[in-house]
Amino acid sequence: MCFSCSQLSKLQDISLRNCAVNCAGDKGGIAKACPNIRNVDLSRNLLSSWDEVTDIADQLAHLEVLNLSENKLRFPLDSPSSTGTFATLKVLVLSRTGITWAEVLRCAVGWPVLEELYLESNNISISERPVDTLQTLKLLDLSSNQLIDENQLFLIAYLPRLEQLTLSDIGISSLHFPDAGIGCKTSMFPSLKYLVLNDNRISQWSSINELDKLPSLQALSCLRNPLTEGSKAETARQFIIASIGQLQTLNRCQILPEERRGAELDYRKAFGNEWRKAGGHQDPAQNRPNEEFLAAHPRYQSLCLKYGAPEDGELKTQQPFLLKNQLLTLKIKYANQLDEKVIEKQLPDSMTIQKVKGLLSRLLKVPVSDLLLSYESPKMPGREIELENGQQSLQFYSVENGDCLLVRW
């Protein structure tokens, strides 16, 4: 495809990935041919020094996005003089370029409005705190830098505008914000809304509890950690939701109000006996669980305030794991029939909503896709809770003995 000069002058986005680019070419040639370029992909080329990158960027007065990943670059030994070369640059990708943290900070003096910085797979070790640089940064990706540890994160903890931090595959096993006590918020990462911790070694609930200290955290992704793998995945999701009160999204799935309610009630019930043994009591005046319990379950007291302290009936010792102990006796009401026919069924609490629909489909001779399920509980008079996720179980939605399933089609 051939482009006329007028067409080139209108170009705003250009990709030259894997095109063997090694320099800026004739002086002023880029500025003359493509003066309006804003987004340039120069990844996987033959650029060998930051000076060559500067020669290119000098000719792009409107440059906002620059991808330099997979170029093995030499970076300057001193901070470059402020020439305005990257005055409009907002997104910079330096993955697999061999850059060090010290070189990042030296070059960052010339990135006055940078908002997103991608530094994946550079063997970076965070060696010093950014001072007067990276202060406009909203997103920082440090994935696959295995030399980063928990203590190094303290050095970037006060970037004032940082909203998204990606720490996938850095080998981290714990997180801690020592400036904040139980139930308090940390002064670190004041604007952080989205944290990615996929493919790490997090295996202790104490690290999840620490995340509740982040004042702005709304979204978390922590896939493929020992804490969340295998048979523990569903329970882990519930406990993470219960442990981080302000979380709105977990592993890219929105946390709906009813899911939060179910997760918090299950958490409150799961650790009720432990709470009682630690000094917990239904009478607020006598409710004084010890410090060890509060350290392990820092949100438990707030859950008791929200839902009430667990009652004795909820804290009965669990019977041995037998099928009969998993069966729920439920009423099933055909809510859109005039006589609202009610039947009674025993269903395993582990049964998924999709399988419940399959059973009802056979009983009613109605296609599964036409069925809508919800339930009512005597404990919540006047409330109806939708069972909308077919992959989740009755237990997930906190359906209990004596509750009533409402079926519509």
Q: Supply the CATH number for residue 376's domain.
A: 3.10.20.90
Same-domain check for residues 63 and 181:
yes
* Structure confidence at residue 323 (pLDDT): 42
Same domain, 176 and 297: no
Q: For position 127, what pLDDT does the model report?
A: 94
pLDDT tens digit string along 126-154? Answer: 999 999 999 999 999 999 999 999 999 99
Asked which of 291, 315, 339 is the last residue of a domain, the reply is: 315
Where does a domain end: 209, 235, 258? Answer: 258
**Are 167 and 29 in the same domain?**
yes
pLDDT value, residue 86: 95
Supply the range of the domain harboring residue 192: 5-258
Nearest 5°: the CA angle 223, 229, 230 is 140
Percentage of the chain with pLDDT > 70? 93
Overall pTM > 0.85: no
Residue 364 sits at φ, ψ, to 5 deg, of -95, -10
Q: Are residues 188 and 49 in the same domain?
A: yes
Say whether both 164 and 305 belong to one domain.
no
Spell out, as residue ranges, where the chain has pLDDT lower than 50: 1-2, 318-325
Within 8 A by CB and 6+ apart from 272, the residues are 280, 310, 314, 315
Distance CA 73, CA 176 (A): 35
pLDDT of residue 339: 65
CA–CA separation, 387 and 385 (whole Å) = 7
What distance separates the 2 farthest-apart alpha carbons in the chain?
Answer: 85
Pick the last residue of a domain from 297, 315, 333. 315
Q: Residue 282 has which token pair?
A: 């239904």
Predicted confidence at residue 321, as pLDDT, reads 42
* Same domain membership, residue 333 and residue 292: no
Number of C-beta neighbours around residue 385 at 10 A: 20
Looking at the fold, whether 9 and 147 belong to one and the same domain comes out as yes
CA 40 to chain centre: 29
Same domain, 270 and 402: no
126, 150, 178, 222, 257 from 129: Cα distances, Å:
8, 14, 18, 26, 39
Residues 166 and 104 in one domain: yes
Identify the CATH number of the domain in which residue 161 sits.
3.80.10.10
Verify that 234 and 299 share a domain, yes or no.
no
User: What pLDDT was estimated at residue 334?
Assistant: 86
Confidence at residue 319, expressed as pLDDT on a 0 to 100 scale? 44
Same domain, 137 and 98: yes
Which pLDDT score, from 0 to 100, does residue 186 have? 98
**pLDDT for position 383:** 83
Structural domain count of the chain: 3
> Residue 188: what residue type?
M
Residues 300, 361 share a domain: no
